[in-house]
Amino acid sequence: MDFELSPLLNPESVAIIGVSKNPSRIGGRLFKYLAKHGYEGSLALVNPKYKELNGVKCYPAISDVPAPIDCALIAVPEKRVLAVLNECAGSHVKAAVIFSSGFAEMGSSGKEAQNKIQELARRKNLRVCGPNCIGLINFNNHIALSFSQLLEIDTLIPGNIGFISQSGALGGSLVNRAMDKRIGLSYFISSGNEADLEVSDYIKHLVLHDQKTKVIAAVIEGFKDGAKFIEAAELALKYRKPLIVLKIGETAAGKKAAASHTGSMTGSDSVIDAVFHQKGVMRVRNYDELFQTASVFSKERIPKGNRVGILTSTGGGGIIMADYYTKLGLEVPEPSSKTKDLATKEIATFGKVANPFDLTGQIFSDPEMFKRCMKLFVAEDNFDIIQVNVSMVAGQSSEQRASMLLDAIEGSSKPIVTWWAAGSLSEPGIKLLNGSEVALFRSPERCATAVKSMVQYYQFLETHQDSTQVGSEVDCANALSHAKDILDAADKSLSEHHSKGLLNAYGIPVTRERVANSPSEAIRFAEEIGFPLVLKIDSPDILHKSEANAIRLGVRSKEEISKVYGEIIENARQYNPDARINGVLVQEMIEGGSEVMIGMSQDPQFGPTIAFGLGGIFVEVLKDISLRVTPLSQSDAEQMVKEIKGYPILQGVRGKRRADIEAVVDVLQRISRLAQDWKDTISEIDINPLIVFDEGHGVKAADALVVLKKPAKA
């Protein structure tokens, strides 16, 4: 569903329902702030108590307003909200902001009332922001539809960052800070409880329909609809509008608080990480990082690579920045010999030209040297990004430094970032840089992290494959019908043999094996397959074969088969007398290779999720797992394998050869396809272990389990 949000975000006519002459009440503040910030459209006031307010006519009800209204601001007690909204719909109002609280955040009765708002909004095609929100601001057109004390601010600075926050108070606070730093916004939207419109709707609108928005920032507590968020993120990628998110509610304690704060679900944080990773969404971990990162992107200076040149007036500061960039995986290369020669002339005997390049105390005797050296750095081909450190300069000196910096970068399109270390004594210089072409930071860490995000984002854009294209490279032509046969025959879960049959239908190699129904059949199969063998029970009702003592490894002779066959059946029966037993699985025993595990589970918000890790302690003790949601592109699958900490083991260590990583990547994509095809049927898949042989020798699933979502048949 695509919503046209212009009547809400850029209304030509606004009504305040529940307006008040008391500026400390919501209805009063809305009126005050709308006027204060220069709203130029038409305005209707609604409140039966007044005839007029400040010379503006006041109507008893929205139905009495003669002119058409794009957006109604609803500031009435919770109990009256639905009736008022109904009236709005009847009066052809196109959108509404509901400020009132007392809905889903209050528990089940509130949730019910909120559902009614949603139902009405959808039925009447009336777009609703809120309830329990602080409203929204359109900065470029001076439209302030909010009661936040943020609007006590003198001027709203327009810009190209669209900002959406589920939390009103945090959102307002962040906007206040952005304005302090002259970071301009296109919109601030407080989405509140999201009865109708949710964060993803606003993102889609800003991507598709708002030319002025170039960067999107969001504070998100939870997603209503995971698929819609993925769709919005894909769109943002397609239109190259960076999406930066502060996702809160990571831990159990945080989630408990989140649940009582909004009606949103807060999904498993590691799955959210996976989605962000996969869809190029930049996740900031800190409140104060959101706009700092957004502001780097808002300069629209795109780095050509990851090489940072650091110009510093403090040696210690140079060390700090070089440390951060190196730790974050960026490069801090030497300048070219040409630059070195020219810069050496500048600094004479006072230092050494390198990267970081320390201008030393010499900069105080010869302030212009800064500008000349800066020009050399900006022109240097070895640098894609220029980092400037400024330390203790007071008053006019600070202004001079800032002004030289701005002069020196003229004509260049490289990203220029500055860490300004000093405090209020540098105010004149800092003021000059705020809102300029230079991204200014007060924290060196935030600076480096933002640069890293920017570099990573543009690298990501180059390699990203649209998920709508994904899946076609996996050849699974006959999989569907074969899989259907297997799944139709099962309920709850599949036996190991059937699980492997399903995997095999999707082209995933499995162990050679057959299910025997007698010792003599087992011996016949053994001769077919060859010793050594593994014998184990095959039953959809016995998932833990070791626990049941119904598995024997390293069976090496016919005599042994005769002996263990009966034991396995016997132990399985004792373990679970009601288990349906298909027979004894006679399976090749694999020697050598590395063990990995591949799993699939269903995330309540984002659907089928694939997990990958090395076997045993790596998964169980070290939790060394990578995650992605389906569908997996080839590069997703490759990333999954590479990002686990144990990856060097697959690359070959301690005399072992490189494992067949390509075959693992192939299995991951096939599992993704399988999970997508049967996402309503299969709830879990576990291949543990998948044996990975040396490069070129493929993989084999040695054990597998498929659990169904619900009984496939009665």
Scanning residues 658 to 697, which ones bind a second copy (CB under 8 A)? none
> What amino acid occupies position 426?
S
Tell me the torsion sign for CA atoms 92, 96, 102, 108. positive
Q: Is 238 a residue that touches a second copy (CB under 8 A)?
A: no
User: Least Å distance between CB 474 and a second copy?
Assistant: 31
Site for a second copy in 383-412 (CB under 8 A): 391-395, 397
Q: Is 617 a residue that touches a second copy (CB under 8 A)?
A: yes
Q: Which of 54, 63, 125, 326 binds a second copy (CB under 8 A)?
A: 326
Site for a second copy in 302-321 (CB under 8 A): 313-320
Q: What are phi and psi of 265, to 5 degrees?
A: -85, 145
**Between residues 219 and 533, which has the closer beta carbon with respect to a second copy?**
219
Q: Which of 35, 480, 553, 653 binds a second copy (CB under 8 A)?
A: 653
User: Least Å distance between CB 553 and a second copy?
Assistant: 16
The Cβ-side half-sphere exposure at 346, using a 13 Å CA radius, reads: 26
**Between residues 146 and 669, which has the closer beta carbon with respect to a second copy?**
146
Strands 357-358, 215-220: pairing is: unpaired
The interface region with a second copy, picked from 2-10, 245-253, 533-541, 676-684 by CB under 8 A, is: 245-253
What is the gyration radius of the CA atoms in the chain, in angstroms? 32
Q: What share of the chain is helix, strand, coil (3-state, %, to 5)?
A: 40, 20, 35
Rounded CA separation 97/28 (Å): 15
Q: Which of 222, 184, 206, 217 is nearest to 289 (CA)?
A: 217
CA triplet 128, 131, 137: central angle to 5 degrees? 70
Rounded CA separation 93/70 (Å): 6
Rounded CA separation 192/165 (Å): 8
**Between residues 150 and 597, which has the closer beta carbon with respect to a second copy?**
150
Site for a second copy in 493-532 (CB under 8 A): none
User: Least Å distance between CB 149 and a second copy?
Assistant: 4
**Between residues 367 and 532, which has the closer beta carbon with respect to a second copy?**
367
Q: Which of 36, 80, 177, 209 binds a second copy (CB under 8 A)?
A: 177
Residues that contact a second copy, how many (by CB under 8 A): 91
Site for a second copy in 77-106 (CB under 8 A): 101, 105-106
Cis amide linkage into residue 631, ω under 30° from 0: yes
Q: Is 579 a residue that touches a second copy (CB under 8 A)?
A: no
Q: Is 325 a residue that touches a second copy (CB under 8 A)?
A: yes
Rounded CA separation 86/95 (Å): 12
The interface region with a second copy, picked from 53-61, 170-178, 296-304, 483-491 by CB under 8 A, is: 170-178
**Between residues 448 and 610, which has the closer beta carbon with respect to a second copy?**
448
**Between residues 114 and 165, which has the closer beta carbon with respect to a second copy?**
165
Cβ pair 158, 184 in contact under 8 A: yes
Q: DSSP 3-state assignment of 218?
A: strand
Q: Which of 437, 649, 698, 707 binds a second copy (CB under 8 A)?
A: 649
Structure tokens at 121: 């909004």
* Angle between helix 290-298 and helix 168-180 axes, rounded to 10 deg: 50
User: Least Å distance between CB 492 and a second copy?
Assistant: 27
Q: Is 258 a residue that touches a second copy (CB under 8 A)?
A: yes
Rounded CA separation 87/82 (Å): 9
Q: Is 34 a residue that touches a second copy (CB under 8 A)?
A: no
Q: Which of 56, 82, 170, 579 binds a second copy (CB under 8 A)?
A: 170
**Between residues 235 and 422, which has the closer beta carbon with respect to a second copy?**
422
Q: Which of 114, 160, 262, 630 binds a second copy (CB under 8 A)?
A: 262
Rounded CA separation 154/42 (Å): 22
**Residue entry with tokens 């509610």:** 249
